[in-house]
Amino acid sequence: MNLNNLLTRAARSFPDRVAVAHGAASYCTYGELAHRAAGLAGSMQRLGLAIDDRIGLFMTNCPQYLEVFHGVLHAGMATLPINSKLHEKELAYILDDADAHAVFVTPDLAEKAAAAIDEVGSAVRMFVVGEGEYSDLLSGEPVPIVHRAPDDLAWLFYTSGTTGQPKGAMLSHRNLWDGTLNYFVDIDRVPANGSAIHAAPMSHGSGFYGLPHLPAGAKQVVPESGGFDPAEIYALIEAHSEVSMFAAPTMVKRLVEHDSCGDTSNLRTITYGGGPMYVADCKRALERLGPKLVQIYGQGESPMTITVLPREDHMATDHPRYEQRLASVGYAQSVVEVRVADADDNDVPAGEVGEILVRGDVVMKGYWDRPEVSAEALRGGWLHTGDMGAFDEDGYLTLKDRSKDLIISGGSNIYPREIEEVLLRHPAVSECAVVGRPHEEWGEEVIAFVAPVEGETIDTAELDKLCLDNIARFKRPKDYRITPALPKNNYGKIVKRELRIWLESEDHG
């Protein structure tokens, strides 16, 4: 049940169809992509890399990403996609925690990756895509696809989850296979002339949604910029047919607000998720783009596959609860069961808030090398998401809170503890607390409340530098509030709710 059979089958059935485009131009056919993946697999085997080894992909979006991803799977190894925005210390942590054996990087990230490998101090091999050695690897003698059992590890996805410390969600071949097939049931029916634009990071949801395009023999398009530029996206929509794209709500908002008058008749579907979409923004997107929006809610532990709000609900303006449904994340996808439960894991009635629990064959096996944490997260056979929500009487789920303290900015999860631990390294910081503040474009922005050591003063520029030296730039606080003390409850625990109320009163003051 090797997931890469999706590619080998497509190469056999549609060898001459374009599999990957770079911008408007063809990059390779299905036959070529499968041959390169098999050649890369053979080269990795001959270099001593073995079945089940974790192979990192620390790459900005590029066509080679798909060659490496499929080559690793073809060889029976586990892919380890890593957010290209991470700081070198965060990269080092993941490589070390996952016991990675090799990492493929794009040239722009080679220096950062080399520094991370030096910090790890173990023998992690680094391959820079697009350079001479990489070409030699691709042209290696192809090997047959390695058989994998359904529960063997295919994708190790590191997510901060709800405990702050990054953890590797173990996604098996079965998990990804079921999620791929479920796309056709709940999201979209990919046509043979379909095109998926990878404007969001391929290490996350966009890469996952590339998988359903394989069985249809459809095309995957990597923007020349490697990321999201509204003008470029409009041009790519015109250049390709039956276009679909995964996007964070902030990306949809920027696309709608762009002054381009590009033709969107080739646009088929934009699936958005990873954070809240305000109802007003959703309505503007529907007016600009037409009936082409689908919303999903998922987590790295159940990737893209918890609930769905289909395009029909986006357009059902005559429904009496239309706006309520636009504000929801839809109903349970076909491949999972979803419950809302109290602290004792008992179901709560419609309208009441509880923790969202998920069960199904797309839910992770557990967290890498964390059996106790895995047992707690999957107790009773249900994934405990840490997210709070409520069902309505029709089974539509509305998120009331992403875990208690999690901040979602631009579709990226930011857990305050990571930032707080860095800020507390400053000798003048006595205590601190990080919270999210609503932001029109990004969903939320990071605000840090900092109390100084008695008699000390704090230079916020030093705090900024401390963060930039240790965590990714997008996690850095956008504002610092220096205060003599932080509010606490009777047990001495900082009450972040009061800090959020403080920020809210400022916004309305």
**What are the tens digits of pLDDT across the range 33-75?**
999 999 999 999 999 999 999 999 999 999 999 999 999 999 9
8 A C-beta contact, residue 17 and residue 220: no
Which tens digits make up the pLDDT trace of 74-119?
Answer: 999 999 999 998 999 999 999 999 999 999 999 999 999 999 999 9
Q: How far apart are CA 269 and CA 213, in angstroms?
A: 13
Question: Residue 231 belongs to what H/E stretch?
Answer: helix 230-239
- For the chain, give the mean pLDDT: 93
**Domain ranges within the chain, ordered by starting residue:** 5-332, 407-508
Q: Which amino acid is at 190?
A: V
pLDDT tier at 413 (50, 70, 90 boundaries)? confident
CA distances from residue 61 to 111, 268, 433, 466 in whole angstroms, order as listed: 17, 22, 34, 28
Tens-digit pLDDT profile for residues 217-265: 999 999 999 999 999 999 999 999 999 999 988 889 889 988 876 789 9
Span 476-483, average pLDDT: 95
Of 331, 387, 396, 337, nearest in space to 361 by CA: 337
Q: Is residue 455 over pLDDT 80?
A: yes
- Side-by-side strand order, sheet with 429-439: 429-439, 443-452, 479-482
Encode pLDDT of 188-203 as tens digits. Answer: 999 999 999 999 999 9
- Tell me: pLDDT of 491 over 50: no
Residue 490, pLDDT score: 46
Q: Which fold would CATH assign to domain 5-332?
A: Rossmann fold (3.40.50)
Q: Which of 291, 292, 249 is nearest to 273 (CA)?
A: 249
Per-residue pLDDT at 161 exceeds 50 = no
Query: Does residue 198 contact residue 221 with C-beta atoms inside 8 Å?
Result: yes
pLDDT at 164: 55
β-bridge pairing 125-128 and 397-401 = unpaired
Rounded to the nearest 10°, the torsion over CA 495, 500, 502, 508 is -160
In this structure, what DSSP letter does residue 305 have? E
- Each residue of 423-438: pLDDT tens digit? 988 999 988 999 999 8
The model's confidence at residue 163, banded by pLDDT at 50, 70 and 90, is very low
Q: Which sign does the torsion angle of CA 347, 351, 352, 355 carry?
A: positive
8 Å CB contact between 289 and 256: yes
pLDDT (0 to 100) of residue 173: 98
Percentage of residues in the chain having pLDDT higher than 70: 96
Tens digits of residue pLDDT in 378-390: 999 999 998 888 9
Answer with the residue of higher pLDDT: 509 or 319: 319
Helix/strand/coil for 278: coil
For the segment 477-500, the average pLDDT, to the nearest whole number, is 83
Closest CA to 19 of 190, 218, 240: 218
Domain 407-508: give its CATH code: 3.30.300.30
d(CA 211, CA 476) in angstroms, rounded, equals 33
Nearest to 16 by CA among 26, 24, 6, 4: 26
Q: Which of 474, 477, 322 is nearest to 394 (CA)?
A: 322
Residue pair 164/405 in contact (Cβ under 8 Å)? The answer is: no
Q: What would the mean pLDDT of 323-334 be, rounded to a whole number?
A: 95
Q: What is the pLDDT of residue 420?
A: 87
Reply yes or no on whether the pLDDT at 421 is more than 90. Answer: no
Contacts of 273 (CB under 8 A, 6+ apart): 205, 246, 248, 295, 296, 297, 298, 304, 411
* The pairing of beta strand 354-360 with beta strand 336-341: antiparallel
The predicted structure's pLDDT at residue 402: 58
Give the pLDDT confidence score for residue 142 in this predicted structure. Answer: 98
**CA–CA dist 177, 305 (Å, integer):** 12
User: What's the pLDDT score for residue 494?
Assistant: 80
Res 503 pLDDT > 60: yes
Please tell me whether residue 345 adopts helix, strand or coil conformation.
coil
Residues whose CB falls within 8 Å of the CB of residue 97, separated by 6 or more in sequence, listed in order: 158, 166, 168, 368, 369
